[in-house]
Chains A and B, each alone.
Chain A
Amino acid sequence: MGNYIFNGAIYLIAIVFLIISFVKSRQKTKKVLIKAWNSFKNILPMLLGIVIVIGLMLAILNTDIIKKVIGEKSGAFGVLLASVVGSVTLLPGVVAFSTAALLLNSGAGYIQIAVFVQTLMMVGIVTLPLEIKYFNKKFAIIRNAISYILSIGVAYLIGFILGIWK
């Protein structure tokens, strides 16, 4: 729900500015649209591939398997596995949190859940080729590596604080 409202707001902002742009200069607005289309066309092939990889992944890595791997009290090994699963998967936001909630209900600890959510959002192995294309190899690898390491730190900190803050 929240997502739709925000997306709607972004549409509204884009449309309002586009109208203003059109009123001010048709020539420039044409340039805006060409630019938008070109930027989209530029990454479309890669996005198509990424979308299929997401589909393949979710078909193979279903919640049952994820549950088996990081559910229950799986300890430090569970944290490691959760971080790997989070890094290689790319889930749409809604699916991500409902999966995380499922894991929590099936007995996974907060640290595992936190590391799963953190790496899911910040580390993107599937989108690495895209990131390399936009930035470069060094940038993409360093950003993902730092995000990975810090994700584990954040997860333990969350686990620690939630342990005290009952």
Chain B
Amino acid sequence: MKENKKKTFNLKNFLKQYLFFIITLVLLGILFIFKFDEGLKATDVIVYSFKEMLFVLPPIFILIGLLDVWVEKETMIKLMGEGSGFKGILLAFLFGTVAAGPLYAAFPVAIIFMKKQVKFFNIIIFLGAWSTTKIPMLLYEMSALGFKFALLRLAINIPVIVITAYIMGALIKKDDVIAIYGKTEDF
């Protein structure tokens, strides 16, 4: 009886988790019905993106696991937490810059940072750096759009990321920050 109850609960949970995925699958099906060629094209992109995702994500999640298990909260606080000052900002930039992968891959890393009490300001810096100041991407950008364009964009974005962190800090109140940090225990 108890077993049964657990199973139905899981199914419901499963459906809830996969609802978004199921909806997108239905949309893909609709595209195939009305525009078969576009459907094929979409499938090509999906396979490509999925492969990219499977290529990029595993080491990131391994590093997240390693950080969670091995690195003490106190160490992270000292490096990037309250009172870490300029060193913390620099590290946040560094971690974001050397990383590879799309921005959404940075979210779970940010979560583990928050779990280790990295300062909110540095979390925003990290996300900003991950999204725009990536070294591998810079090389692509230089070859595609020119040296000047890429370098200029990088130079402008560094202060813009810091400004973003200040604005976010001002707009998101202490209570919200605490709530977001509290959530990290669930992940």
A residues sitting closer than 8 Å to B (CB atoms) are 1-3, 5-7, 10-11, 13-15, 17-18, 21, 28, 31-37, 39-40, 42-43, 45-56, 58-60, 62, 90, 92-94, 97-98, 100-101, 104, 110, 113-114, 117-118, 121-122, 124, 127, 129-131, 134-136, 138-139, 142-143, 146-147, 150, 153-154, 157-158, 161-162, 165
A39: B residues at CB distance < 8 A = 61, 64-65, 108, 112, 187
Q: State in angstroms the CA–CA spacing of A37 and B111 once bound together.
A: 15
Q: How many contacting A-B pairs (Cβ < 8 A)?
A: 236
Complex formed: what's the CA distance from A1 to B17 in Å? 35
Residues of B with C-beta under 8 A to A158: 149, 152-153, 156
Can you give 28 A-B contacts (C-beta < 8 A)? A6-B136, A31-B69, A33-B62, A35-B65, A36-B64, A39-B61, A39-B112, A40-B58, A40-B61, A42-B108, A43-B108, A49-B23, A50-B104, A51-B53, A55-B43, A55-B45, A56-B28, A93-B140, A100-B144, A114-B153, A117-B153, A121-B103, A134-B187, A136-B176, A139-B180, A146-B171, A165-B148, A165-B152
Q: Are B42 and A139 in contact (CB under 8 A)?
A: no
Residues of B within 8 A of A124 (CB): 103-104
Shortest distance from the beta carbon of A48 to any chain B beta carbon, whole Å: 5
Q: Do residues B62 and A18 form an inter-chain contact, with CB atoms below 8 A?
A: yes
Query: A42 contacts which chain B residues (CB < 8 A)?
Result: 108, 187
| CB-nearest residue of chain A to B52 | A92
Note all chain A residues with C-beta closer than 8 A to B57.
40
Q: Which of B43-95 contact A (CB under 8 A)?
A: 43-46, 48-50, 52-53, 55-66, 68-70
Interface class of chain A by DSSP:
helix
A150, B160: Cβ atoms under 8 Å? yes
Given A97-B140, A136-B183, do A28 and B69 touch, yes or no (CB 8 Å)?
A: yes
**In the bound complex, do residue A56 and residue B136 qualify as a contact, i.e. CB atoms below 8 Å apart?**
no
Complexed CA–CA distance, A100 and B136 (Å): 17
By the criterion CB–CB under 8 Å, are A121 and B69 in contact?
A: no
